[in-house]
Structure 1
Amino acid sequence: MRLHTFYGIVLLFLTPAVRAQQQAPAESIRYVPRIYQPFDIGAVKPAGWLLDQLKTVASNSTGHLDETHDKIKKDNGWLGGKGDGWEETPYWLDGAVPVAYLLNDPLLKAKVLKYINWTLEHQRPSGYFGPLTTYERETGKAITPEEAGKGEDWWPKMVMLKVMQQYYSATKDKRVLPFMLRYFRYQEAALKNAPLSKWTEWAVSRGSENMLVAQWLYQVTKEPFLLQLAALIRDQSLPWSSMFGGRDWVMHAAAFQNNKAWMTRHGVNVGMAIKEPALNYERTGNKKYIDILNTGWKDIMLLHGLPNGIFSADEDLHGNLPTQGTELCAIVETMFSMEEALSITGDLKFADALERMTFNAFPPQTTADFNNKQYFQIANQVAVERGVYDFSLPFDRQMNNVFGARSGYSCCLANMHQGWPKFAGNLWHKTAQDGIAALVYAPSELTTTVGSRSVTITEKTTYPFSDEILFEVKTGTAVSFPFLLRIPSWCQQPELWINNRRQQPDVHQGLVTLRRTWKTGDVVRLKLPMTIQVSNWGRNSRTIERGPLVYALKLQEQIATDTEAAEGPYETLTTKDPWNYGLLKKSIERPSELKVTEQPLGKDFKWVQGMAPVAITVTGKQIPAWRADKGKVADQPVSDREGIYKGTVAAEEVPLTLIPYGFTRLRVVAFPVVP
């Protein structure tokens, strides 16, 4: 179907109010600087468990995908070849570039520079860039704005622009800004002849990624045309802000998984688009977009949210039952949108959301060595096998739930690499008045300057597995600056010490701001007591939480391997452990009485069951009628309004061990409650 036809169907599908908003006159432009500005790549060095994780990804698929993935390996279009020139090479680079520079890895730097250098050196005189087109090969002529229709899809270039943005952040290579300006001048002219809808629906659905880099470049260069271009891109894209604000969209997405306007329900598109209202606010200064962002995110998680912090996306948004799936690409893209929303708006709920999905949903969807992945994960996942699950995209080969490098679509194999390095790069932020903000917590070290004075802050912690964070300050000479610490919304009574002297934390809108003159040897100790809480999810199920982590039933894994002709080797998992437990009502009502067991975090950290440093013991009873469909899907038992399962329950009370969700591949996380 031609894209203008697709786009017309989408607009007809939307409500009259939403269509009217999309067709409204152009808005005025008033750029609003970001509340929090991430530091350049290289200013933040990962440490502790996060460093172990980044070393793992670099030594495995992130560092070697160009050797193992045929789409990148064979005659790559982004190196001038005739092979694949679509999204997967830029996707891989979008993670491999920041990993290379975060770790200062010379071998990985050399790998990614091949693609960056080719792209920079082969920009056409008009500003067009990317793999050589059929037209160019056949005629010897370069793409111009007048012949923009002879070019190729806008979408892969959007991803490569994000790659270049990160490369510039890490290196300040003087070639990058002129390269971008030339391209955006080309795009400004070319969109008249070849709009976003010229080739495929992906560019129309994902214009926010294009807007993002144009607005970032405005922040750097102050070229006014860039904001006008971003507005034009918004106008040629799906009307995400109107859809999020109109609210009928999210209800239709909950009700339908058919072919009508399915790109508006595609979970990865939604994950990317969540940042669009924030970008619109950054460009226009119109606070209605802040309201739209808040409404859209709340509605998505209300109707489609899962206990692990992400929404169902298999591939469509698909409701809130814990037996629905989520695509790996949707997780890493939503993580990035949370990072951008936090930076632009300063709203700390996006930091809470980022931590929840990063520490829970993201880790178990890849193998510990980061070489294999699931296309779709399930929250209550009691088996990982081939089959037709309750997904809106089931796949004929029935491979979308197994662990494999090429299982499902290979987009996630290329795209998963951005998750950990972008998370690491968004731990620390700059604020007004030379402030430094620790907004997301993980072991790391920040080196920056305040005025002309060097400042290093070392963050020592095993958070999110423990509740204490130590900040050690080192300065050349004494220097004054505000130091901001986020207090997560789940923490009711934070504790604070400066140089071993107890302080009374003054928490304002989720922040403690420490204003003082800092010198070498100053130490800030922040304690965020983690109390056990219970949350309510689909079908009146309950989840045990502690701090930013959700806890799931620990199940012994039995692993089998096989090979599928088109998708290669894969792993399946089953368990002989019983899993069909309900949690006792008294445990749910008195969660503070549950037993927590902690142990030190092991060296060479990986997200594997044997390294889980925290466990919670809770009491349950088996529900004999709760069985998995064909051994795979554990449909949630129905509870009454009080949240109690009324069917037959075993008499015996059984102690159950729950571990953090991120360390599980088989699990129950959303439990029925039994008397």
Structure 2
Amino acid sequence: MRLPQADGVANGPFAMLWGVLISFFASIATRSVVKGGSPTGLAPKAFLNLPLGTVKPAGWLHDQLVVQTNGLAGHEHDFYDYVSDSDWIGGTSYYSYLEEAGSYWFNGMVPNGVLLNDSTIQSQVQQFLDYVLDHQDSTGWLGPEVNTTKPRYLWGRYPFFFGAIQMVEANPALTDRVVSALHKFVSLANTMLHNGEGLEDWARTRWEDFVMTLQWLYDFHPEGKEDLLIDTMKQLKYTGDPWEDVFKEEYFPKIAVENLTNPFPELTWHGVNMAEGLKALPSTYRFTHNQSDLDVASKGWDLLFQYHGRPSGIYAADEYLAGLEAVRGTELCLVVETMFSGSYLYQVIGDPKFADRVERITYNALPAELTGDMWSRQYLQQQNQIAAKNMTPNPFPEDGPYSNVFGLEPNYPCCTVNHPQGWPKFISNAFVATPDQTSLVHVYLGPYSVNTTLANGNNVAVSVDTLYPFSDSLTTTITAAKAFTYYVRIPSWVSQGTISVNGGAARPVSPSNGLHAVSVNAGTTKFTLDLPSDITIEERPHGSVAVHRGPLHYAFDISRSQKVLAQNAQQPLAVDLEFDTTETWQYAIDPSTLVFHGSTPSGGKLPSPVFDSGLPPFTITATACPIDWEVAGDTFAAAPPTNPTCTGAVKNITLWPFGSTKLRISEFPTFKAN
């Protein structure tokens, strides 16, 4: 039974409560069938992820990891209190209490160290792993609560598990030790869950991360404990928040939520929890085998971006879901967690919309929230952001006025330790294998090298040479021991793409479900893709528009002044920076006048770092005119005025890739130049 579609809570509390009760009893009925033991085992994924280290960054992507390593992420272990302690986050602060900081840092720096073959980082994460495993107690518990009276909550371990799994992938010699420790913990966790222990609000929203760890054990190292692993997955789901209901259209919030009542636990509308919760239903599907889990997951993804999405690819949640207004914020943790969840959704479901979205987020929203040298980060970014400073008044109803300052830990420390997973996990998920392991699939376009062995002992090496997304051309060279079919994703924004194989004539690409198949013979195969895109216009609130070409979103990069607000005593490069505008930004544009300008950089190499003001080789020019556009207080732009009148002479302005801008206008009012 299903209620007629309701708009948020607009049909009143009784209708909402009735809908929740119907859904609850329906889900209980479904769960009783699953608990009865049929079907058994785990459903296969659409694609298999490759072990960490199989895919390596090349070209400018390699440089991005170098910049990250030379920046804040690579130095946190040296000076940052939350992760520099050798005893895995001692202390009594909020973040230490949830054991969040060390787990987050470990989860991101494991792939960072492996992908760069950085011995310092690899030594740090190995010490971290050794300490945690060496201090596992006799019950199986892992974490800083060992030999203390602290309450034991499950959540803080989940990012650590992801990091430990990645270490095993990169170094199989660690397998026995890590797998043994995980199985001991699972046995304890299963008992705790049956007894209603180890749960608090964060564990109830983020249970899917533990489910994914259990599924890794089931797929690769079950040790005869398949039933226990499946039962623990079910216990996590049934004691956790009901994502299958949260993501249904009749309950999903259509506007910013600060004045709405959540019919489910409050933290399900929390931005980062929702980013992680996107993995819940695809992980559930693997043990329920219910197609409805995948259907709701796919629809929920669409609803999230329809009602809260940003032209930068991500969605807005300045702590909680924030609607469509350009001034509302997006948390950096939310960005990297959505990237990871989108990769998982693609691997389970196989719909290219997930891959398209992750690529947009990575090449726009992620770099926009960090300074070019990656030494300072924001807690919240804005689509229209005319200052990064202590805000008066503050447009974020749940977060502090310091939230959009670029610094070491503005507002909350979580993004400082969590953001390093973004680039490395994007890279490691850029290629997948088909379920029969006979084919390789290039998912996220960019420069890479890959070395792997497919089914039947087929040793394959792949090199992708490209400046994408700052170029439309990719040249791929494949060396294979045996013939096989290679797939490459053709993004939805490509217009009249072509492929030339082994120097042959260019022919149109012909993707099926987003993938173009290339027949690869034994020996060496080389092909070149040309993937041009048109400029596209996205309609935004108040009659404003956003500008795109290919995966890149474009914005007016506002010239800025810079003031150092704070400097870390131990690490002088870790600074809090205030940015303020030094030029007029109040413009309307004529979308009919947009012109793309692309150039090949000198020497065929992008500048380092590429995501900073004036550095990308792609721009778009627009005819614009100055307009009256109000400022709220002295810190943020009001909503774009609808149908504004020009107040001065028409001129050309240049739009730059969003990720390179730190102050910007990216949702523009419009006018007609002629």
> TM-score scaled by structure 2?
0.89
CA distance in 1, matches of 2:227, 2:542: 51
Q: Which residue of 1 aligns with 2:68?
A: 57
**Which secondary structure does the structure 2 equivalent of 1:513 belong to?**
strand
- Residues 30-179 of structure 1 mapped to structure 2, 5 A cutoff: 30=40, 31-74=42-85, 76-77=87-88, 84=96, 86-133=99-146, 136-137=147-148, 151-172=151-172, 173-174=174-175, 175-179=177-181
Sort the Cα spacing of 1:649 and 1:513 in 2 relative to 1 into closer, same or farther, 3 A: same
Q: Which residue of 1 aligns with 2:668?
A: 671
Contact 1:383 1:575 in 2 (8 A): yes
Q: Which residue of 2 aligns with 1:642?
A: none
**Which secondary structure does the structure 2 equivalent of 1:609 belong to?**
coil
CA distance in 2, matches of 1:432, 1:571: 48
Question: How much is the aligned-residue C-alpha RMSD, in angstroms?
Answer: 2.4
- Residues 534-613 of structure 1 mapped to structure 2, 5 A cutoff: 534-563=537-566, 569-584=575-590, 586-587=592-593, 591=594, 594-600=595-601, 601-613=605-617
Q: Which residue of 2 aligns with 1:458?
A: 463
What is the deviation of 1:61?
Answer: 2.1
Letter in 1 for 2:125: V
CA distance in 2, matches of 1:56, 1:378: 23
CA distance in 2, matches of 1:121, 1:511: 45
Q: Which residue of 2 aligns with 1:490?
A: 493
CA distance in 2, matches of 1:412, 1:307: 22
Q: Which residue of 1 aligns with 2:4?
A: none
Pick one of 513, 518, 525 that aligns with 1:509. 513
Contact 2:445 2:468 in 1 (8 A): yes
CA distance in 1, matches of 2:86, 2:498: 57
Higher mean displacement: 80-89 or 302-311: 80-89
Higher mean displacement: 505-514 or 88-97: 505-514
CA distance in 1, matches of 2:122, 2:260: 43
Letter in 1 for 2:181: F
Contact 1:580 1:623 in 2 (8 A): yes
Letter in 1 for 2:106: L
- 1:256-315 C-alpha deviation (Å, 9 max, x unpaired): 367984312110001000111111222222111121012111111111111111111101
Contact 2:553 2:657 in 1 (8 A): yes
Letter in 1 for 2:453: T
CA distance in 1, matches of 2:18, 2:625: 47
Contact 1:97 1:166 in 2 (8 A): yes
Higher mean displacement: 349-358 or 537-546: 537-546
Letter in 2 for 1:76: D
What is the deviation of 1:160?
Answer: 1.2
CA distance in 2, matches of 1:123, 1:255: 42
CA distance in 1, matches of 2:568, 2:499: 58
How many percent identity over aligned positions?
Answer: 29
Q: Which residue of 2 aligns with 1:19?
A: 24
Sort the Cα spacing of 1:518 and 1:618 in 2 relative to 1 into closer, same or farther, 3 A: farther
Letter in 2 for 1:596: H
CA distance in 2, matches of 1:485, 1:81: 48
Q: Which residue of 1 aligns with 2:379?
A: 375
What is the deviation of 1:672?
Answer: 1.1
Letter in 2 for 1:464: P
Letter in 2 for 1:167: M
Higher mean displacement: 480-489 or 159-168: 159-168
Sort the Cα spacing of 1:12 and 1:115 in 2 relative to 1 into closer, same or farther, 3 A: farther
Say whether residues 1:659 and 2:653 are aligned partners.
no
Say whether residues 1:474 and 2:471 are aligned partners.
no
Sort the Cα spacing of 1:566 and 1:111 in 2 relative to 1 into closer, same or farther, 3 A: closer
Pick one of 425, 436, 445 that aligns with 1:422. 425
Letter in 2 for 1:211: V
Q: Which residue of 2 aligns with 1:435?
A: 439
CA distance in 1, matches of 2:498, 2:517: 14
**Which secondary structure does the structure 2 equivalent of 1:501 belong to?**
coil
What is the deviation of 1:347?
Answer: 0.9
CA distance in 1, matches of 2:28, 2:398: 32
Higher mean displacement: 35-44 or 594-603: 594-603
Unpaired runs of 5+ residues, structure 2, are 1-15
Sort the Cα spacing of 1:566 and 1:271 in 2 relative to 1 into closer, same or farther, 3 A: farther
Unpaired runs of 5+ residues, structure 1, are 1-10, 139-149, 640-644
Letter in 2 for 1:385: K
Contact 1:14 1:249 in 2 (8 A): no
Contact 1:436 1:484 in 2 (8 A): yes
What is the deviation of 1:537?
Answer: 1.8
Contact 1:257 1:392 in 2 (8 A): no
Say whether residues 1:186 and 2:199 are aligned partners.
no
Sort the Cα spacing of 1:58 and 1:406 in 2 relative to 1 into closer, same or farther, 3 A: same
What is the deviation of 1:320?
Answer: 0.5
**Which secondary structure does the structure 2 equivalent of 1:77 belong to?**
coil
CA distance in 2, matches of 1:452, 1:275: 32
- Residues 236-385 of structure 1 mapped to structure 2, 5 A cutoff: 236-251=239-254, 254=257, 256=259, 261-385=265-389
What is the deviation of 1:39?
Answer: 1.2
Contact 2:564 2:575 in 1 (8 A): yes
CA distance in 1, matches of 2:500, 2:178: 44
**Which secondary structure does the structure 1 equivalent of 2:103 belong to?**
helix
Contact 1:257 1:318 in 2 (8 A): no
What is the deviation of 1:573?
Answer: 0.8
Contact 2:558 2:585 in 1 (8 A): yes
What is the deviation of 1:253?
Answer: 5.6
What is the deviation of 1:252?
Answer: 7.0
> TM-score scaled by structure 1?
0.89
Sort the Cα spacing of 1:114 and 1:287 in 2 relative to 1 into closer, same or farther, 3 A: same
CA distance in 2, matches of 1:332, 1:651: 41
Paired residues in the alignment total 632
Higher mean displacement: 59-68 or 96-105: 59-68
Contact 2:447 2:465 in 1 (8 A): yes
Q: Which residue of 1 aligns with 2:7?
A: none
CA distance in 1, matches of 2:20, 2:87: 43
CA distance in 1, matches of 2:630, 2:244: 41
